[in-house]
Structure 1
Amino acid sequence: MRTPRKIADQYRAIVSSIGFYPAIIITLFMLFAMVLANIEFQSWVMRIKQAWPVLFVTDVDTAKTLLSILAGGLISLTVFSFSMVMVVLNNASATLSPRVLPGLISIKAHQYVLGMYLGSIVFTLLTLMNIHTEGETLQTPALGTFFALAIGIYNLVLFVFFIHSISRSIQVDSVLNTLFAQTNKQLQNLIAYQDPRIAAAVPNYCDWYRLKSPRAGYFKGVHTQQLSKLLAQHELHMVTEVEPGFFCVEGFPYLALDRDISADEELCEQIHKCSVFYIEEYIGDHYSYGLRQIAEIAIKALSPGINDPGTAVKAIDMLSILTIARLHVADHNYTLLNTEEQQSPLLWFYEPSLASLLEENFDPIRHYGCNDTTVLVNLIEALKNILFVCEHNREYTQALYRYVQATVYDAEHCIDNPYERERINRMLTRMNEVANKRGDDIHFSLSDKEPTIATHN
């Protein structure tokens, strides 16, 4: 017997599959073809055919030829479209990042187009099967043929849209803009939901009971409402001690509860069922996945095979804006069952700290772009902009200063050209000005290196 967790995992896999919407559309077309077959030769339909004879094919051979051409053409169109999807996914994995594939596969517009192609083929074949003998005469499904022709023309329009959309979906600017918009939306929704007074009242859970992970996998979160109801029912408080995307091994303590529930195996199992583990990273699950995907596109752009620092610079700018938005999110998040009746949260979450976001997203960019002055200058500028809005959070500012120091270290050892070092120093001067205005006695700079001029006798 399948457990609820396996059913939930399979449900998520089905919903995120590229064939989910096409399967629904095919089913609808099959039902539509059956309905037309049942009403095709009713009296009121025959009167419509007589009133509009120009729209309906009455000749059996003409109907067979038309339906056969439509079915063959739609099959060719479908094969070509599916081939384009595979090419796009392969190019996206090679030039952008494999992590963006789930987002590209789940584009609803592309699934709709593919579903229309497949559904139209099924509808056309079922209509062709509806040509049958009634007594000594062949009955022509004129109504079904009319709809098959109309759907075929509509599919030609969809094909033009599909070509345009699929060609744009692989463009790096389009992918970055989509990732930025989705991630920013997640952050803004989180900011609008949080009440700073409640977020600041996180309990001290150092001595709480730890519930261990029942399986190995990437922790993506919990079913918040279902788990909150369960906690309210048993009068429990809980804190998730791992961040979304953390890899848990079996037996790793990942949940903290204010009461020891080890004796209640059924309750432990119910809590485990509310935990979500899977591999794919969907931005709708957490904003950190969007940040990571943008960072990986920047890293890919800095690889020798692609060598596109302009894309890396744009990605750094986006990461700085999203990181600034993250500063307005409390380090601990919470879930309320009903904000009118329940004012005290029962469920708390860790949010990725600024230091961890810098390490996960900016570190690889700094490592692969340490020999590119433009990337380093833009990276320092992004850190300056984040520092400018950090207000007076010492933990955030110290994390930024440590990261600026790491960037200065890389520039000191990787950039030898005096002109390029001067460019970096000018940006560091701006960083120092922002730090000094905040009252921090900080000074970052690169040492002077005089150019060596060779003389020939």
Structure 2
Amino acid sequence: MIKPVASFTQAKWQSIRASYWFVPVCMMLIAFCLGYACIYYTPVFISESLFRDYLPTVPADTASDLISAIATSIITATSIAFSMTLVALTMASSQFGPRLLQTFMDDRGTQLVLGFFTSTFVFCLIALHRVSVSDTDTITSSALSVLVLVIGIFDTLVLIYYIHHIARFIQVDEIISRCYHECIRSLSHLFTLTDEKKNHQCLKPSAIVDSPVITELSLTESGYVQTVDYHHLLNQDGIQGIDILVRAGDHVVPNETLLRIHSTTQIDDERKHYCLSCIVLGKKRTSLQDPEFSVSQLVEIALRALSPGINDPITAMTCADRLTSVCILMAEHQFPSQAIRNTNTNIWLKRRTYTYESVLNTAFDQLRQAGEKHIDVMIHLVRCLNVMRKQLPQEYIQAVDTQISAVNDLVSAHIGCDKDRNDVTAVVNIGKQLH
């Protein structure tokens, strides 16, 4: 039985895509191929009259000096770019939280800038190697000199862009905006488990009956569940159903039961390994199938802002605005069912899944608890929740009302003057009128 690799590949690609080395290495390979292509095809397609009439001819020894100078400058600029990147990562880790480093490392602008610098250096090395040969003709040395000069000028513009990019990137409003847009982009694949396929039938968990033989499966390793391949679990033979006890984002300890396989007879070891391979563990949580992780990044920024060392309630209120937008957009999606059946294989699947209430609690519970002494933050939270009440479907109103009541109960103990008390009462009454 071939193990499913789709989920593992997706999780692995997520970590590779967010690394600093992937894009620069790809660009270095392109520069390597481009360098040798220029060396071998320049004499074929470029005539000597072109340089004689339009471009200056550069002897091999002069070209070598020019390319060496540009290569030395580029490697210096590369070290400056790496230093600026490390400074930005250090600031982000200390001020906004270590888990937000993923957002910084996933920045395409930084990866492309480092890729331009390193690939330019590789191109210069190849050109320098060619012009150092004693029989280098004038056309080749002149063409390589012009190319390296143009690339060097372009890299100077790239360095200017990078300084501007880093200066803007470490601003808190920019970071909040990036986290918000990352969360919105992830909505498309977060809700791929909504059972919209024709061969999936939603069931009530109470309608599922246990089978005669139940096999519990566990792993000897620990880690965070990154993805669960529900599709391959539902397309098997020889079993009646699967009870999945974990979901994406859960931390798994060694020998913890992850799956319960329901069947009429004992299943073999090959099928056990196949089922366990559908659950991918990793060192950290990801946003592949975990909407609460995407939301918690914004929450972490707000919690840091409300800490006594920073004390920045404006940032916390900005995060609350973004969290409100995320919760409204999530309500437009259909959340996955707790139990489904594959009508083709007749295999049922029961699972732990996320709900809108769990996402809402992740967004506002810690923010409410951390901001209990900030009256302005609590008033702003109630306003955000009132905005949500006006736009959410009726089925989610009760969860929002619970949050509004919790904010009101928590802030009442810290109100010290009549004006603040009247402001809180006025905002809460607006929500009651909407109800």
1:270 corresponds to which of 271, 274, 284: 274
- Residue 217 of structure 2: aligned partner: 212
Q: Partner residue of 1:52?
A: 51
2:295 alignment counterpart: 291
Q: Structure 2 CA distance, aligned partners of 1:366 and 1:28?
A: 51
Q: Report the 3-state secondary structure (helix = DSSP H, G, I; strand = E; otherwise coil) of the residue aligned with 1:242.
A: coil
Aligned match of 1:221:
227
Pairing 1:130–2:136 present:
no
Q: Structure 1 residues 139, 362: CA separation in 2 closer, same or farther (over 3 Å shift)?
A: same
Q: Alpha-carbon deviation of 1:179?
A: 2.1
Q: Is the 8 A contact 1:332 1:350 kept in 2?
A: no
Residue 252 (structure 2) pairs with residue 248 (structure 1): yes
Task: Report the CA distance shift for 1:245/1:427 in structure 2 as closer, same or farther (over 3 A).
Answer: same
Contact 1:312 1:375 in 2 (8 A): yes
Aligned to 2:362: 360
Amino acid at match of 1:216: S
Contact kept? 1:186, 1:286, Cα under 8 Å: no
Q: Distance in 2 between matches of 1:112 and 1:390?
A: 40
Distance 1:129 1:425, change over 3 A: same
How many Å separate the matches in 1 of 2:339 and 2:50?
62
Quick one: higher RCO (CA 8 Å, sep 6+), 1 or 2? Answer: 2
Bigger mean CA deviation after superposition, 272-281 or 233-242: 233-242
Look up the equivalent residue of 1:207 and give its one-letter code.
D
The offset of 1:23, in angstroms, is 0.9
Q: What is the distance in 2 between the residues matched to 1:388 and 1:256?
A: 42
Which position in structure 2 is the counterpart of 1:317? 321
Name the Cα RMSD after superposition.
3.6
Relative to structure 1, the CA distance from residue 372 to residue 199 in structure 2 (aligned partners, 3 Å threshold; closer, same or farther) is: farther
Q: Bigger CA drift: 367-376 or 258-267?
A: 258-267
Instruction: Say if 1:238 and 1:346, in contact at 8 Å, map to a contact too.
Output: yes
Q: Partners of 2:380 and 2:404 in 1: how far apart? A: 12
Residue aligning to 1:425 = 425
Instruction: Determine the C-alpha separation between the residues in 2 that align with 1:342 and 1:167.
Output: 56
Structure 1 residues 171-217: Cα deviation after superposition (integer angstroms, max 9, x where no partner): 22222222222322333666698467967535545736464331311
Q: Following the alignment from structure 1 to structure 2, what is the Cα–Cα distance between the partners of residues 408 and 136?
A: 81
- Within 5 Å, give how 1:103-252 maps onto structure 2: 103-134=103-134, 141-187=141-187, 194=194, 200-201=202-203, 203=205, 204-205=207-208, 207=210, 209=214, 211-214=216-219, 215-225=221-231, 227-228=232-233, 231-232=235-236, 237-238=241-242, 240-252=244-256
CA contact (8 A) 1:102 1:280 kept: no
Corresponding residue number in structure 1 for 2:310:
306
- Amino-acid identity (%): 23
User: Contact between 2:237 and 2:345, CA under 8 Å: does it hold in 1?
Assistant: no
Structure 1 residue runs without a partner (length 5+): 436-457
Q: What is the distance in 1 between the residues matched to 2:47 and 2:140? A: 15
Per-residue Cα deviation, 1:293-330 (whole angstroms, up to 9, x for no partner): 01111111112232221221121122122223333444
Distance 1:103 1:205 in 2: 41
Range 368-377 or range 306-315, more displaced: 306-315
Q: Residue 320 of structure 1 aligns to a residue in which SS? A: helix
Whether the 8 Å CA contact 2:217–2:260 is kept in 1: the answer is no
Q: What residue identity is the alignment partner of 2:224? A: Y
- How many residue pairs match? The answer is 424
Deviations 1:39-77 (A, max 9, x none): 45x4x34x5233233435422332122111110110111
Structure 1 SS opposite 2:186: helix
Contact 1:59 1:140 (8 Å CA) reproduced: no
Q: Secondary structure at the match of 1:263?
A: coil
Whether the 8 Å contact between 1:222 and 1:275 is mirrored in structure 2 is yes
In the alignment, residue 24 of structure 1 is paired with which amino acid?
A: C
Deviations 1:312-358 (A, max 9, x none): 112112212222333344443599999xx969896665432344334
Cα distance in 2 between the residues matched to 1:56 and 1:206:
84
Distance 1:358 1:256 in 2: 30
Could you say if the C-alpha distance between residues 325 and 120 of structure 1 is closer, same or farther in structure 2, counting changes exceeding 3 Å?
Answer: same
Confirm or deny: 8 A CA contact 1:390 1:397 kept in the other structure: yes
Deviation at 1:166, TM superposition (A): 2.1
Among 37, 40, 44, which residue is 1:38 paired with?
Answer: 40
Please give the secondary structure, in 2, of the residue aligned with 1:362. helix
Structure 2 equivalent of residue 332 of structure 1: 336
After TM superposition, the structure 1 stretch with the greater mean CA deviation from structure 2, 177-186 or 205-214, is: 205-214
Q: Deviations over 1:241-300 (max 9, x none)?
A: 333211111222333444378632111111222212123444354332221101111111
Q: 1:135 to 1:63 in 2, by over 3 A?
A: closer
CA contact (8 A) 2:60 2:136 kept: no
CA distance in 2, matches of 1:206, 1:377: 48
Distance 2:146 2:98 in 1: 44
Q: 1:449 maps to which residue?
A: none
Q: Does 1:386 align with 2:388?
A: yes
Partner of 1:90: 90
CA contact (8 A) 2:201 2:341 kept: no
Give 2:228's aligned amino acid: V
Paired residue type of 2:70: L
Letter in 2 for 1:88: A
SS of residue in 1 equivalent to 2:263: coil
